[in-house]
Amino acid sequence: MHVSINKPAAQEEAAIRAEKVQSLYANNSTAVVGNALIALILAGIQWGVVAAPSIIGWLVLMMFALAVRTLLFIAHRRAAPGDDSIWLQRFRISVAAIGVVWGLASLLIFPAHNLPHQAFLTFALGGMTAAAITTLSIDRVSLLAFTLPALVAVIVRLFIEGTAIQTAMGVMAALYLLLTDMISQRAYSTLCENVILRISIARREQEFSSLVESAPDSIIRYDLGCRAVYINHILEKMVDVVSGSLIGKTPMESKFDGLIGVENYQTKLQQVIYTGESQNVEIMVSSPSGDQRTHHVCIVAERGCDGEIIGALAFGRDITERKTMENELKASEAKFRSIIEVSPVPMALLNDEHMNLTFLNPAFIKTLGYNLDDIPTLADLWPKAYPDPDYRHWILTSWQMAMEKAKQEQTDIPPLEVVIYCKNSSLKNMIISAAEIDNTPGLHC
């Protein structure tokens, strides 16, 4: 029976070899102790039926091989990171040496014509081979280097004995060796897949970590209980707090000096976890330099493979400069509005290409009588201010020409002298003009 083992990609070979070496050397202590104990028990059982010099000589060889493997283990632990292939070859040689010593047991301490002790020896070798599968399957070469010399010799001795039972035992041992190799191939294939998968996961985690840690925003991951389970390092650069002190705590539990708005923050976080709908919130925090900063936080639900909510992610960004500009703009608008409100010149503000009127100063309302309910758009103003169709047509044509000229020359619309029909039915001679103020069209009379 042939078991197919997919050969790892070239870029994975070095990583798999390193994993092999690490795994093989990690099991060294257990393997050495196990080999030594089984060897001593076997020697004790065979003592009365095999010549003592043979048993002692075999034990000396076994302990020497195990000592060499122990020294190799110590050298590997103390060595600086280097070429794993060299350590792998050394390990294979040490394992092969132990396998050969076990094979010598079939020559040195195999009692002729003594079926019980032969069976015990075969049982011991089979047990050692089975144990080797668990520790050596990740490297098939190492496994074969141990099992082949350990079992082939006893198989040959059993066949040489020639009795029906011993021949059957030899056939069974041969089948066991074959099955052991097949099992090891399957185990090797599984282990290689696991190693490649683990390497792939580690790389994905590294890519994710690099992405998250290099992000310009602070990122906090919460579980279903609103407890922080991960925080990227950028938070410590933005906020005067140690990230580790927030892990395992809810926002309310981790409230620190200078944090304002945490109650609303946790409420939004809970809403995201319960409903799955994203939420935005602004909080105030102290920066490492001690000044108060405004952060905008976007909280989104984190979902598992089945689509179920498993937590939430909070992305925070310092928007202090933007808030400062917004406040300055609001102050500027308020100042501008206060100026035109007290201006004795009638003024109107339009906010878009549809010429919607958004503001009429008191002078406009007092002089002409119209308010925003009367003239919500400039189009509503024309028929009321210029009820005569011919005159209105002249006004609109003149106004349009003036606007096109101003646009081409990038200047303000020149003044135009007109007669306006007021809401109280009176007529007023006025000069009208228009200009853009911060990209907002304005009309003044």
In a domain? residue 2: no
Residues 6+ apart with CB under 8 A from 358: 349, 350, 351, 372
Residue type, 195: V
226 and 202 housed in the same domain: no
What pLDDT is recorded for position 3?
A: 40
282 and 364 housed in the same domain: no
99 and 28 housed in the same domain: yes
In the predicted model, what is the mean pLDDT of residues 340-344?
84
- The residue behind tokens 């049982």 is 123
In the predicted model, what is the mean pLDDT of residues 279-307?
88
173 and 286 housed in the same domain: no
- Per-residue pLDDT tens over the stretch 83-92: 788 888 999 9
Instruction: Judge whether 420 and 445 are in contact, CB under 8 Å.
Output: yes
140 and 197 housed in the same domain: yes
Instruction: Judge whether 262 and 252 are in contact, CB under 8 Å.
Output: yes
Cα separation, 28 vs 31, in Å, equals 5
Residues 6+ apart with CB under 8 A from 3: 182, 185, 186, 189
Angle, CA of 431, 435 and 437, to the nearest 5°? 140
121 and 264 housed in the same domain: no
Classify the C-alpha dihedral 39-42-47-53 as positive or negative: negative
Measured CA distances, 283 to 38, 215, 217, 242, 252 (Å): 68, 20, 14, 18, 13
95 and 134 housed in the same domain: yes
Decide the pairing of beta strands 309-318 and 347-350. unpaired
Average pLDDT, the chain: 84
In the predicted model, what is the mean pLDDT of residues 68-77?
89
What pLDDT is recorded for position 93?
A: 93
Residue type, 198: R
What pLDDT is recorded for position 437?
A: 62
Cα separation, 213 vs 276, in Å, equals 25
- Per-residue pLDDT tens over the stretch 104-145: 998 898 888 888 888 888 888 888 888 888 788 778 888 889
In a domain? residue 331: no
Give the pLDDT band (50/70/90) at residue 11: low
Minimal CA–CA distance to 328: which of 438, 226, 411? Answer: 438
Specify the 3-state DSSP secondary structure of 354. coil
Measured CA distances, 229 to 224, 311, 314, 342, 420 (Å): 10, 10, 12, 57, 70
DSSP state, residue 251: T
Domain end residue (candidates: 189, 209, 229): 209
Segment among 65-69, 151-155, 309-313 with least mean pLDDT: 151-155
What's the structural domain count of the chain?
3
What pLDDT is recorded for position 352?
A: 60
Residue type, 246: L
- The residue behind tokens 């021949």 is 167
Residue 233 has pLDDT above 60, yes or no: yes
Measured CA distances, 97 to 32, 65, 188, 389 (Å): 13, 6, 22, 114
Residues of the chain above pLDDT 90, percent: 22
Instruction: Judge whether 266 and 283 are in contact, CB under 8 Å.
Output: no
What pLDDT is recorded for position 285?
A: 85
What pLDDT is recorded for position 177?
A: 80
Residue type, 405: K
- Per-residue pLDDT tens over the stretch 375-402: 988 888 889 989 999 988 998 888 888 8
Residue 4 has pLDDT above 70, yes or no: no
Cα separation, 392 vs 249, in Å, equals 71
222 and 205 housed in the same domain: no
- Per-residue pLDDT tens over the stretch 134-159: 788 778 888 889 988 988 888 888 88
In a domain? residue 4: no
Residue 415 has pLDDT above 80, yes or no: yes
What pLDDT is recorded for position 433?
A: 81
User: What residues pair up with 193 in beta bridges, in sequence order?
Assistant: none
Residue 5 has pLDDT above 60, yes or no: no
Domain with residue 411: its CATH number is 3.30.450.20
What pLDDT is recorded for position 9?
A: 55
Segment among 55-64, 169-178, 195-204, 323-332 with least mean pLDDT: 195-204
